[in-house]
Structure 1
Amino acid sequence: MADPKILETFPNPAAHRDYLIEHTHHEFTSVCPMTGHPDFADITVRYVANKTCVELKSLKLYFHAYRNEGIFFEAATNKICDDIGNALKPRSLTIVANWKARGGFSSVVTADWKKKK
């Protein structure tokens, strides 16, 4: 399973301001745990940083760690949300996973991160 320790951060250069950061990875791949067939998605990470931002090479390596993992769409999207949220502790975070059609269905799974109280 993808290790969230792969994710690296750097200081937010404008921590005094709310501004939206959006990264989309167009080559996300995992494996359906039921059929063993590959699943493909565009994963969009949309967040307002607090003290740190995610470093893109580490984000790419984190996403590539899912390549051979058997995981359902919903589980992958929510794990990504939790892992990035816990690494960044952003003011807000939304993960949008746009899964490519397979078996006649395409799916979009959206997860929002909230700080634990």
Structure 2
Amino acid sequence: METRHLGQPSTPPASPDEAVLDYVPNPRPGALYLVRFTAPEFTSLCPVTGQPDFAHLVIDYAPAETIIESKSLKLFLGSFRSHCGFHEEVTVGIGQRLTSEMKPKWLRIGGYWYPRGGMPIDVFWQSGSPPDGLWLPDQGVQPYRGRG
């Protein structure tokens, strides 16, 4: 598989729709294992006020034929800095896009959004039931009390 980002200079995409995600062959296609990406400084924009919203994202997936190339994922997540979307649209949309393109055995995303206006909103989505025998660690994000 050809990657467009790994080892190449890359321009940050202007929007999530313009972002190109790269996938490479799973180096252990016969093994059932979990991959976790954590983005503790994720940002997007409120679609009503245009103010920044901040989240701690945790993406867990069990690879099938491919794995996501991390530089392309970082660029994709960074493209949300100028994207207006409600927490639910952003979190679920990231999970659905990764699932539809990568076709993992299973994927879940937790969006732990920091409060604006006094109320944190946590959004969770998964592609279905996890495969039998897959170890699912806790996502490790504390319930809101300053998130730390």
- Number of aligned residues: 114
The aligned counterpart of 2:62 is 48
* Superposed structure 1 runs of 4+ greater than 4 Å apart: none
Name the CA distance, whole Å, in 2 between partners of 1:30 and 1:99. 10
The aligned counterpart of 2:133 is none
Q: TM-score, normalised by structure 1?
A: 0.92
**Greater length-normalized contact order (CA 8 Å, ≥ 6 residues apart):** 1
Name the CA distance, whole Å, in 2 between partners of 1:86 and 1:5. 15
The aligned counterpart of 1:104 is 118
User: Structure 1 stretches of 5 or more lacking a match?
Assistant: none
Name the CA distance, whole Å, in 2 between partners of 1:26 and 1:61. 15
**Does the alignment pair 1:26 with 2:40?**
yes
Q: TM-score, normalised by structure 2?
A: 0.73
Q: Which has the higher strand share?
A: 1
Residue 43 of structure 2 contacts residue 81 of structure 2 at CA under 8 Å; is this kept in 1?
Answer: yes
Deviation at 1:98, TM superposition (A): 0.7
User: Structure 2 stretches of 5 or more lacking a match?
Assistant: 1-14, 129-148
Deviation at 1:26, TM superposition (A): 1.6
Identity of aligned residues (%): 37
The aligned counterpart of 2:101 is 87
Residue 12 of structure 1 contacts residue 52 of structure 1 at CA under 8 Å; is this kept in 2?
Answer: yes
The structure number with the bigger radius of gyration is: 2
